[in-house]
Chain A
Amino acid sequence: MKKEEGKYFYCAIKSKEEKNFGKIGLNNEEVYTIPYGDIAAVVSDSPMTDYELTEDNTKKHENVIKEIMNQYSVVPAEFGTTIKNEIILKRLLKKAYNPTAESLKLVENMVELGVKIVQTDKTVLVDDQQKKILTSEITESLKSKAKEAKTCDLFSERLVLNASFLVNKDRIDTFSEEIERLKNKYQKLKFLYSGPWAPHNFVYIKIGTEGVEIKKSGSN
């Protein structure tokens, strides 16, 4: 069978070496690094296709990143990023070397933790002002245990808070303890706590028509 020239791009890591992570990629392809200087792209061979944003595909994408996160800090690439061939990928890495290296520094030893707070039948938070006070109180107390925080889209009317926190791996326990304390304090609210994830909400690589972009928290 003809080897695919396209490269599905999962994330960037700090590494000079060519490394193989096994057949854990999309379409069960081998995941490996393509280094440029002291950074490397983690990729698998792939046809140039528009990957559907299905649960299976996103899980596979995220599982690869999680596996890499066991050994490295990562700057994730946007889901579905496929590059025509290795030569183009290396050109992109060259072009985006400085922002990628900077971003890798920002997320070194960091993970993202997600917190969603949901109203239950028992909760009555009709007042917007009441909601605002509550969310800012919770966000501030969690922010104190994190390096950065980002509030995300309230995609459901049931959601009171949807936020992500960039937390040092060594402080995950402290952050989790704070979640427990808040859970006890606000027993009528339901907390959904997830992670550790790659820091998608704080930094990610986006490749578009204008080349490669590194999106950092707060930048559009």
Chain B
Amino acid sequence: MDIRVQAEPFDFGAEAGAFAARQNAMGAVVTFTGIVRDLPDGGLRAMEIEHYPGMTEKAIEAIAEEAADRWNTGDLLVIHRYGPLAPGEMIMMVATSAPHRSDAFQAAEFLMDFLKSRAPFWKKEMAQDGADWVAARDEDEDALTRW
């Protein structure tokens, strides 16, 4: 299990490649990456991501351990950035491995659903005409009930 909370960018291709290369008995690797989405009018200057140092790492670790308990996974990787990010930059990635693809897909979805609303991150959109905290969506909270 590899969990990193960092301000620095990460190299998605290199991380995904290295993750896949260290799986021996695993037949499947699933990756997901989240990207800073521009506003519909193209007016996003930056996305500021705040987090709760200390709790963030613990919360992600607990989510990852839960995923490893529920599915037959081999390895899990979570990288999540904080600080100011430009539109198009990668915010975070997860990678999961499992003997068969179903466990890898489900573990990745579970990780994403819980990272979204149970890991202490908050996004603020800095637009041309002001700044706004991104509100949590009911759908994201509802997504947790399917697990």
- The answer to whether A and B belong to the same complex is no
Interface residues, chain B, with chain A CB atoms under 8 Å away? none
Interface residues, chain A, with chain B CB atoms under 8 Å away? none
